[in-house]
Amino acid sequence: MKPRDLEHLRRWLDAERRDGQSEAESALRSLFAALPVAQPSAGFGDRVLANAARLGLLPAAPSRWAWFGRWFSASLLAAASLFLVVLGAQLRGPILRWLGEITWTDLSVALIASMGHLIAAAAAIWQGLLHSSESLSLNLQTPGTALTLIVALAMSTLAFRALRELLSPDRSSAYVQLH
């Protein structure tokens, strides 16, 4: 601070000591008005952005290949959509004729039969799950098996926590090398 700026500071501190509210506020306003505006050097912003990119705080700029990939994907999607529109227009007549020839009774019987097959498959899966849960509950009734299972679960939990701590981003090799 320059000596003329110290005068504003002294005036504000004196007004605060005397409990002069309006005088203190005006002195504080003049103190802030006298403070110089911060002007960073010309390369400051570039250095900040370069350091942020080096530390991985900024997303990487998309490459030309990424732009080409997005353009190609959009073009492929548009071509596929156009193809499906043309295909739908071509197949509309045969599909409508086929729907006109179907006897809806046969279709409903076929749907009911298919649902019966689905229900039978679901029942078989359910029965398999019940059988496996009964087998597991019989094995857990012995104290040795239950203790082994508890110890294995505890060890896997501890191993998971240790690995999570080791693999967290702030402990990566790049972070350790920079600090």
Domain boundary among 12, 38, 54: 54
Question: Considering the domain boundaries, does residue 88 fall inside one?
Answer: no
- Which tokens in the block code for residue 142? 């012995």
Q: What is the 3-state secondary structure (H, E, C) of 76-122?
A: HHHHHHHHHHHHHHHHHHHHHHHHHHCCHHHHHHHHHHHHHHHHHHH
Question: Considering the domain boundaries, does residue 171 fall inside one?
Answer: yes
Q: How many CB atoms lie within 10 A of CB 8?
A: 19
Question: Considering the domain boundaries, does residue 38 fall inside one?
Answer: yes
Dihedral angle of Cα 59, 62, 63, 67, to the nearest 10 degrees: 160
Domain boundary among 54, 71, 91: 54
Range of the domain at 9: 3-54
Instruction: Please tell me the distance from the alpha carbon of residue 27 to that of residue 30, in angstroms, as a whole number.
Output: 5
Q: Among the listed ranges 19-33, 75-89, 90-104, 134-148, which one has the minimum average pLDDT value?
A: 134-148
Whether residue 124 is predicted with pLDDT greater than 80 in this model: the reply is yes
Q: Among the listed ranges 79-93, 94-108, 116-130, which one has the minimum average pLDDT value?
A: 94-108
Whether residue 118 is predicted with pLDDT greater than 90 in this model: the reply is yes
Question: Considering the domain boundaries, does residue 92 fall inside one?
Answer: no
Question: Considering the domain boundaries, does residue 76 fall inside one?
Answer: no
Question: Considering the domain boundaries, does residue 27 fall inside one?
Answer: yes
Contact at 8 Å (CB) between 172 and 49? no
Question: Considering the domain boundaries, does residue 90 fall inside one?
Answer: no
Q: Total structural domains in the chain?
A: 2
The pLDDT assigned to 108 comes to: 82
Domain boundary among 20, 35, 54: 54
Question: Considering the domain boundaries, does residue 29 fall inside one?
Answer: yes
Q: Is the pTM of this model over 0.75?
A: no
Counting beta carbons within 10 angstroms of the beta carbon of residue 142, is it exposed (0 to 12), middle (13 to 18) or buried (19 or more)? Answer: exposed
Sign of CA dihedral 133, 134, 137, 142: negative
